[in-house]
Amino acid sequence: MSRSSQSPRESGERPSWRMGLPFVAFMVVAALFFIELLTGDPSKLPSALIGKKVPAFELPPLEGLVRKGAPVAGFATGDLVKGRVSIVNFWASWCVPCRIEHPFLVQLAAQSKAPLYGINYKDGTAGARRFLGRFGNPFVAVGVDANGTSAIDWGVYGIPETFIVGGDGTILHKQVGPINADIIAKTLLPLIEKARAN
């Protein structure tokens, strides 16, 4: 019997449709992943740090930044474990979503009665000062994370990101992406009030 007249089973060859099955399975999984990526809410991504203490850090101040006539200090872990709920926001002057978010940070600082700390992420000193001078400085302290080490320790993967920290230094909430009036009213303020009551 010639090779061309043998069935795939007799010749030991697999049918061509079987060879394409792994590729089809891969494409289906990739399509599902892509759809979830496009439709998922990145602010709902879980953080391994929720319920854990803030990472150890000490950040220098943003050089030349002044608020109410006094230099604005940097800050460290100890500033977040003083028995009061705090808010920590990672931002940069080059970050477009940070510009969109900034008026809402000013609003949050005024409404929450919790100190708002800013961590300036991989930014130039002059640009960061100009940004706060133009849009307002809602922060009680601004630490400079010039090389991004603190952002890594906090689990930040894209700015802006905002954290609610309990009075004992426990991370209670992580908000990925820019905050807005709805997030402030429905998520952040209730969390802050609940944490303050405990």
Ordered by where they begin, the domains of the chain are 52-197 (3.40.30.10)
User: Which structure tokens are listed for 135?
Assistant: 């849009």
> Minimum mean pLDDT among 17-21, 32-36, 64-68, 169-173: which range?
32-36
pLDDT category, 179, cuts 50, 70, 90?
very high
Strand partners, 145: 121
Q: In the predicted model, is pLDDT for residue 7 greater than 90?
A: no
Give the mean pLDDT of 182-193: 96
Helix, coil or strand: residue 98: helix
pLDDT of res. 29: 73
Question: What's the rounded Cα separation, in Å, for the pair 61 and 71?
Answer: 9
Distance of CA 177 to the CA centre of its chain: 6
Question: What's the rounded Cα separation, in Å, for the pair 80 and 54?
Answer: 8
Q: Kindly report whether the global pTM for this prediction surpasses the value 0.85.
A: no
Percentage, residues of the chain above pLDDT 70: 81
Q: How many CB atoms lie within 10 A of CB 143?
A: 24
Question: What is the tens place of the pLDDT at every residue in 38-97?
Answer: 554 444 555 678 889 999 999 999 999 988 888 999 999 999 999 999 999 999 999 999
Q: Which amino acid is at 141?
A: A
Q: In the predicted model, is pLDDT for residue 27 greater than 70?
A: yes
